[in-house]
Amino acid sequence: MTPRPFAHQGFTLWFTGLSGAGKSTISGIIEKRLREAGAKIEVLDGDVVRENLSKGLGFSKEDRDTNIRRIGFVCELLSRNGVIAMVAAISPYRAVREEVRSRIRNFIEVYVECPLEVVAGRDVKGLYKKAIAGEIPQFTGVSDPYEPPLNPEVVVHSDSENPEESANRVWAKLEELGLISF
């Protein structure tokens, strides 16, 4: 059987949400599907970027904004050159996400919504417990704000959907927007 031809434009798929909401899990499913289809794709995971591109930055608002601007700059370069740039990063502040959106032609924001009590319950590293106890300052969603997007292209509810269902909804939106096609 001949595989169906796959086409895509360059775009940025930006997953935002609290730590533990499922951003990396859902984006990993999308990444696998895109790679299997033959897409040109690069993934910028928040934790990996912090170790490399943003090494030395802390967690002040200014440093977090700098981190997101750096990720956005890389996404802008990739997507305008026909590559799919996929980001899984908390990116807690709405204004800097909107700033990045304004620079990227095809920017698709996915809000991985999950209540604080659910993500805290999933926390295998115990970070939420430490943050709630005051041991970790500036922890997003506890002692530092998370500003949900006002108009994301996709909202998934990781407390009531499984990762495959969420990935299917994101995939459907990409097809609807004409960014990927078979």
Return per-residue pLDDT of the chain as tens, 182 residues: 545 678 899 999 999 999 999 999 999 999 999 999 999 999 998 888 888 888 889 889 999 999 999 999 999 999 999 999 999 999 999 999 999 999 999 999 999 999 999 999 998 889 999 999 999 988 999 999 999 999 999 999 999 999 999 999 999 999 999 999 98
Here the CATH number for the domain that contains residue 66 is: 3.40.50.300
Question: In the annotation, is 91 catalytic?
Answer: yes
pTM of the model: 0.93
Geometric angle at alpha carbon 74, from 68 and 75, rounded to 5° = 85
Catalytic residue, chosen from 19, 27, 91, 158, is 91
**Among 173, 13, 17, residue whose Cα is nearest residue 107:** 13
Tokens of 24: 């990396």
127 lies in a domain? Answer: no
Residue 8 CB contacts under 8 Å (≥ 6 apart), including other chains: 34, 39, 40, 84, 179, 180, 181
| 66 domain-assigned | yes
Residue 54 lies in a domain: yes
Whether residue 42 is contained in a domain is answered as: yes
Residues spanned by the domain of 23 = 10-115+147-181
| Residue 96, amino acid | V
